[in-house]
Structure formats: structure tokens, C-alpha cells
Amino acid sequence: MIPKSELERGCMYSGDCRNASSAVWDGRKFIYTRSEWYGDVYNEYISHPDDDSVHDVFVPESEVLDFIYIPKSALDTGRWYSGFGNTECAMWMGEYFMDSDDKVHIHIEDEGDYPFIPMKEN
């Protein structure tokens, strides 16, 4: 298991939990894509074993080296991106993301909790 102190914000790790075999570290928790048997897909947060000894946790084993998020410098203002975070899709507004509910999200390169990690343009 990779200790929490050695995890890098914005990196994906392979590992194990009840519902995922890979997850992205946002600096606070892991985020993974959860698929329900009836077809719904959404992002879900899960703790590192150092933070929770009671509930399901994600145990990181190795970094996924080919995982690369889109850096702020490569984002186009006014375009929608899918990725990981409190939303699955958000529009880049130049300094922050905004989702379809008009909620603001920071980029993973910015300091703060619950960042959005853009993976691809929609």
C-alpha cells in the first residue's frame, strides 16, 4: 500500500476497494467512477485507509503512469470537459469551472478542497 504522505494530487492509482480498481487522488480523498447495475454512472469519493478504519476505503498499490489530466494552460474558455470531481462535466470559465447547476469548481492545479480534474473535452 502507498502511504497517504506519498500520494500526488491529480494522479491516478490502481488498487482495491469494493467498487473500483483505480481512483484519482485529489489531495484529500480518492475519486472513482461508479457504475450501477441499472446503468447510472457517477463519481464517488472514498477515503485512504489512513483516514478511515470502519468504512470501505481505497487501498492504492501503484500509480497509473499513462493517466494525464488536462492542465489549465491547455483548456479553452467556454468549452465543456468531462472528468473527476463533484461533477462529471463542467465548463471552463477561464479561471474556474462551472457545472450545469451553476456551481463553481476549482481546477486540480489550484489549492482547495473538491477540485475538478478535467480528462477530455465534451
Determine the pLDDT at residue 36. Answer: 81
Mean pLDDT of the chain: 94
Q: How far is residue 102's CA from residue 35's CA, in Å, rounded to a whole number?
A: 25
Q: How far is residue 8's CA from residue 25's CA, in Å, rounded to a whole number?
A: 7
The residue extents of the domains of the chain are 4-63, 72-121
Task: Please compute the mean of the pLDDT values over residues 9-23 and round it to a whole number.
Answer: 95
Determine the pLDDT at residue 106. Answer: 96
pLDDT in tens, 29-51: 999 998 887 878 889 999 999 99
Task: Tell me which residue has cell 457504475.
Answer: 35
In the predicted structure, residue 14 carries a pLDDT above the cut 90: yes
Q: What grid cell was written down for 107?
A: 481546477
